Amino acid sequence: MVERQGDGNDKLVILYHVSPVVIHWDILIHAADAPVLLAWRCLIDPAGWFLTSRQFATTIIRLPDHRLKYLNYSGAISDNRGWVTPVLRYPGKMTHQSDMELKLRVETGIAPWRLSLQQIKGNQWRLEATCLE
């Protein structure tokens, strides 16, 4: 098990992903020193939740790690996998990271949020987000 405390240079990026299979959102988390992005698929728009609620939760699907280029990428994805465009990008600080759980404090510019991602079973994870103000 790997445990890590962030240094405040971590990031949360949410991409809108239109694919031939299903329209969804990619939740990407970058630990500042990591060579890849941790990635999950969400079928409900989590970006809108930051604007319309103070707390939300949903089940998300763990994806293979993504390349760092997706921190700032918008456009077509190779092998006819659709296209992506970023819908939000926030700085954050990882407060806990292990193989089965991740906690991130996100600074939205309006209010700070705490995101908690916890493995349920296999590639299924639970995402809970709470506004801290």
Q: Residue 108's pLDDT band (boundaries 50, 70, 90)?
A: confident
- pLDDT exceeds cutoff 70 at 4: no
| Adjacent-strand bridge partners of 24 | 17
- For residue 5, being part of any structural domain is answered with no
As a whole number, mean pLDDT of residues 85-94 equals 92
Amino acid at 50: F
- For residue 59, being part of any structural domain is answered with yes
- For residue 3, being part of any structural domain is answered with no
Cα 2 from Cα 77, distance rounded (Å): 31
Q: CA 65, 68, 74, 80 torsion: positive or negative?
A: negative
- For residue 94, being part of any structural domain is answered with yes
- For residue 4, being part of any structural domain is answered with no
Cα 103 from Cα 74, distance rounded (Å): 26
Number of domains present in the structure of the chain: 1
DSSP state of 68: G
- For residue 19, being part of any structural domain is answered with yes
Cα 42 from Cα 61, distance rounded (Å): 7
In this prediction the pTM is 0.89
The residue segments making up the domain with residue 73 are: 10-131
- pLDDT exceeds cutoff 80 at 25: yes
First and final CA of the chain: distance in angstroms? 32
- For residue 2, being part of any structural domain is answered with no
Mean pLDDT of the chain: 89
As a whole number, mean pLDDT of residues 29-35 equals 90
